[in-house]
Structure 1
Amino acid sequence: MKQYLEHHPWKIIEPGFDSENQLLSESIFSLGNGYMGQRANFEEEYSGETLQGNYMAGVYYPDKTVVGWWKIGYPEYFAKVLNSTNWLGIDIKVDGQVLDLAKCRVEKFQRILNMKEGYLSREFIAEFSNGNRLKVNACRFISMARPEIAAIRYSVKALNFEGKLEITPYLDGDVINQDANYGEKFWDQVAGDINDGRGYLLLKTKKLDFHICTAMDCQIRKNGQELRPDLDKIKNEKYIANKYFLDIQQNDEVTLFKYIASTSSRYYQVGELIAETSCQSRKAAELGFDNLLAEQSAAWGEIWQKSDIKIEGDTAAQQGIRFNIFQLNQTYTGEDERLNIGPKGFTGEKYGGSTYWDTEGFCLPFYLSTADQSVAKNLLLYRYRHLEKAQENAARLGFSGGAALYPMVTMNGEESHNEWEITFEEIHRNGAIAYAIYNYVNYTGDYSYLADYGLEVLIAIARFWAQRVNYSEKKNKYVILGVTGPNEYENNVNNNWYTNRIAVWTLEYTLEVMDYLKQEYPESLAKFKEKVSFKPEEINKWHDIINKMYYPIDEEEGIFLQQDNYLDKEQLLVSELVKKELPLNQHWSWDRILRSCFLKQADVLQGLYFLEDKYDLETIRRNFRFYEARTVHESSLSPSVHAVLAARIGDYQKAYEMYLRTSRLDLDNYNNDTEDGCHITSMAGTWLAIVQGFGGLRIRDNTLILNPFLPEKWSSYSFKINYRGALVNIMVGLEGLTIQNESKNDIEIKVYDKEYHLAGDGQLKIKDYKQG
């Protein structure tokens, strides 16, 4: 772990500048609004180690795969989100000396991410080699109220000198991705211009023809008075700038306001981009920084009203959950069903910004409970719109008859991952997509989704499983061979318990949905059957697989096995590892990891988390005890599942330990890998750890279920959920449990196995509660 940030309930505070923390801070202090995002790079020049990052949602590049060999069905490209026009840049020179924190002496540095109001501020004093001391105060935000707008306020104050000041705000499109093959650049300039205080760049990608236009409007004030200083207009290839020249006296303060608009051809016709973008940046400048910031604060106030989790008695835990909620809301707003959630969001380039199974497995419940129902529905529609591509993907691998294999990694529905064991073997992702449909319908009661969209996807996935199984004559069972489960520390295994189990569950759920539609939506069922050329014998095959699926089990231990022959491995415990060898993936060879019993995440526990209602408490407890002791949690998705299951079996201390690990995974850099971006999708797991773990939230038989406990270190906590039109506030404290219905809609609720009717605007108080 690397703990260098101060604990605060609403802020992330970095006290002092240490260049060794810069990449880490660039990730943690990132900003976004679902439409665009920005790593926390400095505005001024910085010659130290940095990862430049400006990203536009949905704008990507089909880069050539990095592997040198090909197999039938192998992805043709690796999709990556592009580092686009750098709009942050503000170069500062004092008497010809460049402001560069890698070269200046830095004092009183402080960087603050204000999560409550949604802005990033930074202040410091820089001393140049000639002894001149300059105080800098910067503030910026990406607007949640105006998706295409960002704004910067950048002030410099002469502390002990008089001299010549140059301020150069610019737009730079000559950018590169860190992982670009052979230093390849992805953008060409279409147009660009610069005038007094304003300018624009219009760029297009070298493939796919995405166009992005970025415009800036700038204003200068000196000691609070607006100025029109002398300036040079600079116009180079993929670069425009204004260079302002000012005389500055001791104690003078000069402030630059830089207003940014960024638009893309995803939302506008190419011919409209320049005029639209320039108009938006001009309007932002007319409104002014303070008014835009007030809008930002109000927008975040509405977000926190629905999604905040309050914790009393543990500042580190409070900061952790709010940081995770903040980043999730910055990453995805649900307003565009063509967009999804990348594991790093807008905080870095790793994983290419593409969509993984993380969305369905971990993120969906967060948006179900904290946003309008349409947001979660759009996550499902993203996959529905890509069904044809999933069927094409399956066909390339030899599957037929409309079988669908959803991609492990995608931007547009096509598979774009380039590792064999993931691209071809992590087929469990199909199960997560089917489970997301169930999860959505179970939570919302929106059964019409099944009739309009859901069944078509379920049938296609079920057809894949029906073809992917093998029938073993020796076992007289169906088996699934050559897979990789969520635990990527074991590749190309046979009969991964989770994969086999989620395959069967998908078949069971598809049949259940068909029976439901037969009763409630017979016309929709008939339409689907005709559309997909459904044959009755398919049902017989599915039933046969359900009844004859093989599951690896160890009777002596009383556990489900990760996969066949898992116990042939030397059985060691994580507690026996030398701490300096962790994380394993940064100290052990891949061969050694694959041969060990240690798990990146426990597949069996993932299955028990999804299908908890199908197993008794003792079965869950035995499997949890066995696998938790062998799990190194080097998948960011792992701790949250362990937290929920630990709470389920009454191991509240372990649940709390796992919660802290997931909530502060990035803030404390647990896995030593946050420098290249935060773990956005696993942040939803932090929310799950509290709401499903500590709160015991479940939905069963159209009833809201709560079985909360209060962690020992906390005096209280509360969270809100949006459930079927009712906004419910759950507060757990030393005096008991209070449930407030903050809407007009009545709901049925069960607490500690006792049923209640909670009327609109009603309140329920329960004095008995569990304490961890």
Structure 2
Amino acid sequence: MLNYSQGTGLLENWLISEMEFSPDTLGKCEAIMYLGNGYMGLRSATEEPYIQEKRNLFVSGTFNKAEENEVTELPNLADITRIDIRVDGEKFSLEIGKTKQYLRQLNLKTAELYRTFYWTSPQGKELKFKFRRFVSLDNLHIIGMKMSIESTSHPVQISFDSGINAQMTNSGSQHFIEGERRIFDKKFIQLIQTTNESNIDMVINTAHDLSINGQLVNANPTMNMGRRKVWLTYDVELKPHDKLEMEKITTVFTSRDKEFDTNEYSLQSLREHSLNVLKESFEIGYDRLFECHKQAWQSKVWSNYDFEINSDNSFDELAIRFSIYHLTVMTPAHDDRMGIGAKALSGEGYKGHSFWDTEIFILPFFVYSNPQIAKSLLTYRYHGLVGARKKAMDNGFKGAMYPWEMAWPSDGEVTPIYGDVDVVTGEQMKIWSGFIEQHISADIAFAVYQYYQVTNDQDFMDNYGYEMVFDTARFWASRLEWDEGKQRYHINNVIGPDEYKEHVNNNAFTNYMAYFNMKLAINYYYILANKNPRLLEELNARINIKEAIQEIHTKVEQIYLPNPRNEDLVIPQDDTYLQLKEIDLTKYKQQESVRTIYKDYNAEQINTIQVTKQADTLLLFYLLEQTFLHDDNRFQDKVKRANFHYYEPRTLHDSSLSLATHAILANDIGEHDLAYSLFKEACEIDLGPNMNTSDDGVHAAAIGGVWKAAVFGFAGVRQIDGELHINPNLPKHWHSMKFTIHWHGQPVTLFITQSTLTVKVSNKQQLSFEVFGKRFKCSDSITLAIK
């Protein structure tokens, strides 16, 4: 049972709490309470083991292919969290004995996991357990754990095993060859793992300290080694009211770390360095390490983003904080060679691969809140041009055709070929996304454009951005197919964002985004020709853009762009969608879990029904209204409204990406109650009462979407072709909202109430912005009436 009201005072709306233990629903809290710092993510499994647990430790960028017939994925590193506890020689488990006052809690403010309970053994002895854990944001390589066991009634013998367990797999796939294990001085444990295909070394070190009633004890542990495992066994006796405390400090380093990923790399130097860091950290101890970690969260995250909501429903503010917490722990801000996985670093779902989720749903948070991190994430895509060009060439195209799923930048396409069962044939369904879901190339170009418009980062454009836009435009120019009869270019046989429609022609989202991508390339080409011809010559030497721009220029105006229908202003999602049969979707719209339609239909049958998995055509309005196409009559308000009312009832939101877009558009068209309802539903994807939604990991894009729905929806913040617009319309039960964005290099704090908007600039640089059609300028602070 989850509870969000345990926080009071300074911790109000900061605590995610589990109030009862259930061995049948472990995955939810393991995922939503996972700890991380972008370098690594540690799933929050309990210390004592259970059958249905999933223990995961991932380090960003360490991709490996376990077998030739599998795709590359983030390997599950050795586990350091499991502690096998015995009470009077009997295994400790919450499935036996009696438990009371159980509480497991993630403190979003301090990024610490806390668990406590009273447990009475089958022999009637009562013990009080406390566990604490953090993954440091101050030192990215450190994991801290702390355990206390207090005997409240009887003398008791406590024994426990703790160390490093490399007997881990990715759902059965083993990624590592067995490495060396060693125990130094009966205290410092070291284990080495090396991936069997990518040849990445992982060095994990750990050490323990024990005390009873605050006094350090020399427990003289027994040293143990097994296959892929090394551990220490401790035995202590507790008298009534004695308290045993154990601290466990762990360090994790890999040969993929930038400081070691050099020609001079040696495993020995990595081993020595990592062990030295452990020894230094161990001397500092849990409490001081945690204090540094806590201060890092305050300075780097909460003070920096400065987000507050005063709502009658306190869940709203907690959900935003949950979003910001996870956006922080999922993002490898330390290394621009790494992206964000669809399940972040919280589970094995989607194998750690990056999708368009990053650019459309996650990146906007960083573009507006932390541009340096946004730049790093886009640079990851620049490094990925190697794989994108290879995919284009392999498919007979030019330029850069970005992988639908991307891992290490040079890996290229890594989407699995087969997935779920076909309910009709019993066979595995083919995953077509890696072959024909191609809009991601234009999505990345849009992300480059959005970043540039908000930040004015010319250095990024000169070094990375222009080349990405030009090469994706080259791809689209080569991808277009000429229809002789209709005298226009089509894009046939694709999947749009609505993955319930495969092998369609002229998906509106794909066609319009390709058109935008090509027009953007033309705009940038002539800007460089006039302002930086030297850079243009350098780019031309690399990708022959001068010749390509002629082809782009010739073809772009002949792309078929579906127009709103005369009778109802609906833009056809693709060539056939509006002619497909309609069925009663009520039971699927009211489903408690996603994708229940697959219990009744297979993919081929769903392809024949007017049903949409997620925002598709509607997403165009949100994206292209931010561009130089914002005045296009095809995207005017009445068209947006007509399309929303047509597609929303047909959209099942079976992708977690979908709800945020619909919430933003609902607010735009004045459907404010519906907008909040969709926002709350998006928040509940991971935070809702359904205890099985997050078993495979959190929904990273939805988490980014929660922030988007609040800032772009309710606060009405948009960049529209380089101009800042702020059109607030808060939910009626939100009294105020405060947050900080960055605009053209300057922090800007917005404070919004039901009747006023206050804009405060930090650097005293003049800010120009528009509110409900009126232009304003501000060099300090200004308060405007908005209702």
Same fold (TM over 0.5): yes
Greater displacement, 390-399 / 187-196: 187-196
CA contact (8 A) 1:173 1:187 kept: no
* CA deviation vs aligned residue, 1:36-77 (integer Å, no higher than 9, x gap): 111111112x233111111111112114476xxxxxxxxxx4
Structure 2 CA distance for aligned equivalents of residues 388 and 552 of structure 1: 36
Q: For residues 549 and 774 of structure 2, what CA distance do their matches in structure 1 show?
A: 42
Say yes or no: does 1:460 pair with 2:460.
no
Trace 1:307-326 onto structure 2 (pairs within 5 A).
Answer: 307-313=305-311, 314-326=313-325
Q: How does 1:667-746 map to 2 (within 5 A)?
A: 667-668=687-688, 672-700=692-720, 702-734=722-754, 736-746=756-766
Residue 268 of structure 2 aligns with which residue?
A: 271
In structure 1, C-alpha distance between the alignment counterparts of 2:95 and 2:43, rounded to whole Å: 18
Give the match for residue 624 of structure 2: 611
- Partner of 1:70 in structure 2? none
Instruction: Work out whether residues 486 and 601 of structure 1, in 8 Å CA contact, stay in contact via their aligned partners in 2.
Output: yes
Determine whether 1:590 maps to 2:594.
no
Question: Aligned ranges for residues 496-645 of structure 1 at < 5 Å?
Answer: 496-536=507-547, 538-551=549-562, 553-572=564-583, 574-575=585-586, 577=588, 579=590, 583-585=594-596, 587-591=599-603, 592-612=605-625, 613=630, 614=632, 615-645=635-665
What is the CA–CA distance in structure 1 between the aligned matches of 2:316 and 2:718, rounded to whole Å?
A: 23
Of residues 528-537 and 90-99 in structure 1, the stretch that sits farther from structure 2 once superposed is 528-537
Please, which of 477, 493, 505 is the counterpart of residue 488 of structure 2?
A: 477
Other-structure match for 1:377:
375
Displacement after TM superposition at 1:616 (Å): 1.1
Choose 697-706 or 636-645, whichever is displaced more. 697-706
Task: Indicate if the aligned counterparts of 1:647 and 1:655 stay in contact, CA closer than 8 A.
Answer: yes
Contact 2:403 2:434 in 1 (8 A): yes
Match of 1:117 among 91, 105, 110: 110
Return the TM-score normalized by structure 2: 0.92
CA separation of 1:596/1:558 partners in 2, compared to 1, >3 Å: closer, same or farther? same
Answer yes or no: is the 8 Å Cα contact 1:194–1:234 preserved in 2: no
1:294 corresponds to 2:291 = yes
Q: Take 1:696 and 1:580, find their aligned partners in 2: how far apart are those partners?
A: 30
The Cα shift of 1:157 comes to 0.9
What is the CA distance between 1:596 and its match in structure 2?
2.3
Match of 2:280 among 283, 294, 299: 283
Counterpart of 1:589 in 2: which secondary structure?
A: coil
Percent identity over the alignment is: 27
State the distance in 2 between where 1:696 and 1:168 align.
54
Shift in Å at residue 316 of structure 1? 1.2
Match of 1:71 in 2: none
Pair 737,541 (structure 1): closer, same or farther in 2 beyond 3 Å: closer
Instruction: Give the letter aligned to residue 647 of structure 1.
Output: N
1:671 CA drift (Å): 10
1:387 to 375, 385, 388: 385
- What secondary structure is seen at the aligned counterpart in 1 of 2:685? coil
Give a deviation string over 1:495-524, Cα, whole Å, max 9, x none.
111111111111100000101111211111
Alpha-carbon displacement from aligned partner over 1:102-129 (angstroms, at most 9, x marks no partner): 3343221101100111101000122222
1:417-440 Cα offsets, whole Å, 9 max, x none, are 123411111001111111111011
**Alignment match, 1:766:** 784
Give the secondary-structure state (helix, strand or coil) at the position aligned to 1:113: strand
Structure 2 counterpart SS, 1:452: helix
CA contact under 8 A between 1:109 and 1:123: conserved in structure 2? yes
Q: Which amino acid aligns with 2:360?
A: G
SS of the aligned residue for 2:294 comes to helix
Q: Distance in 2 between matches of 1:360 and 1:428?
A: 12
Amino acid at match of 1:369: Y
1:127 to 116, 120, 125: 120
Evaluate the alpha carbon distance shift between residue 763 and residue 209 of structure 1 in structure 2; reply closer, same or farther with a 3 A threshold: same
The code of the aligned residue for 2:81 comes to: L
- Cα distance between partner residues in 2 of 1:321 and 1:251: 41
Q: Who is 1:69 aligned against?
A: none
Please give the alpha-carbon distance, in whole angstroms, between the structure 2 residues aligned to 1:548 and 1:637.
Answer: 28
1:25 pairs with 2:38: no
Distance in 1 between residues matched to 2:481 and 2:233, nearest whole Å: 69
Compared CA separation, residues 597 and 5, structure 1 to 2 (3 A): farther
After TM superposition, the score normalised by the length of structure 1 is 0.93
Q: Kindly tell me: are residues 506 and 287 of structure 1, through their superposed partners in 2, closer, same or farther at Cα, counting changes over 3 Å?
A: same
Counterpart of 2:232 in structure 1 is 242
Q: CA deviation at 1:664?
A: 2.4
Change (3 A) 1:582 1:552: farther
Matched, 1:396 2:414: no
1:516–1:716 distance in 2 versus 1, CA, 3 Å: same
- Amino acid in the other structure paired with 1:741: V
CA RMSD of aligned residues (A): 2.0
Distance 1:308 1:13, change over 3 A: farther
- Check 1:285–1:576 CA distance in 2 against 1; reply closer, same or farther (3 A cut): closer
Q: Using the TM superposition, give the Cα deviation of residue 557 of structure 1 relative to its aligned residue in structure 2, in angstroms.
A: 2.4
Displacement of 1:537 after TM fit?
6.6
**Partner of 1:654 in structure 2?**
674
Give the unaligned 5+ runs of structure 2. Answer: 8-12, 418-430
Residue pair 1:232, 1:242 contacting (<8 A) in 2 also: yes
Is 1:338 aligned to residue 326 of structure 2? no
Q: Return the alpha-carbon distance in structure 2 between the equivalents of residues 543 and 304 of structure 1.
A: 50
Equivalent residue letter for 1:662: A
CA distances 1:225-278 after superposition (whole Å, capped 9, x unpaired): 111123211122321212111111111110000011110011223221221111
**Larger deviation: 480-489 or 671-680?**
671-680
Three-state SS of the structure 1 residue aligned to 2:436 is coil
Whether 1:208 and 2:198 are equivalent positions in the alignment is yes
Check whether the contact 1:466–1:542 (CA below 8 A) recurs between aligned residues. no
Deviation sequence 1:549-601 (CA, Å, 0-9, x none): 24265332211111111122223464465735853346333244333222111
- Specify which of 2, 18, 24 is matched with residue 14 of structure 1: 18
| Correspondence for 2:91 among 92, 98, 104 | 98
Which amino acid letter does the alignment assign opposite residue 388 of structure 2?
Answer: A
Question: SS of the residue aligned with 2:678?
Answer: helix
How many angstroms does 1:300 deviate by? 0.9
User: Which residue number in structure 1 is paired with residue 425 of structure 2?
Assistant: none
Identify the match of residue 404 of structure 2 among 405, 408, 412: 408
Structure-2 change in CA distance of 1:625 and 1:463 (3 Å): same
| Partner AA of 1:281 in structure 2 | L
Give 5+ residue unaligned stretches, structure 1. 67-76
> Following TM superposition, by how much is the alpha carbon of 1:101 offset from its aligned partner in structure 2, in angstroms?
2.2
Provide the C-alpha distance between the structure 2 equivalents of 1:34 and 1:580, rounded to a whole number of angstroms: 34
Q: Deviations over 1:467-504 (max 9, x none)?
A: 21111112222111110111111111111111111111
Q: Distance in 2 between matches of 1:643 and 1:673?
A: 20
Q: 1:283 to 1:48 in 2, by over 3 A?
A: same
How far is 1:768 from its partner?
2.8
User: In the superposition, relative to structure 1, how do residues 596 and 219 fare at CA in structure 2: closer, same or farther (>3 Å)?
Assistant: same
Question: Quick one: structure 1 residues 88 and 584, their matched pair in 2 at CA, closer, same or farther if it must change by over 3 Å?
Answer: closer
Aligned counterparts of 1:197 and 1:584: Cα–Cα separation in 2: 50
Report the Cα offset of residue 610 of structure 1. 0.9
Q: Which segment is superposed worse, 524-533 or 136-145?
A: 524-533
Residue type at the aligned position of 1:14: E
Task: Give the conservation status (yes or no) of the 8 Å contact 1:552–1:563.
Answer: no
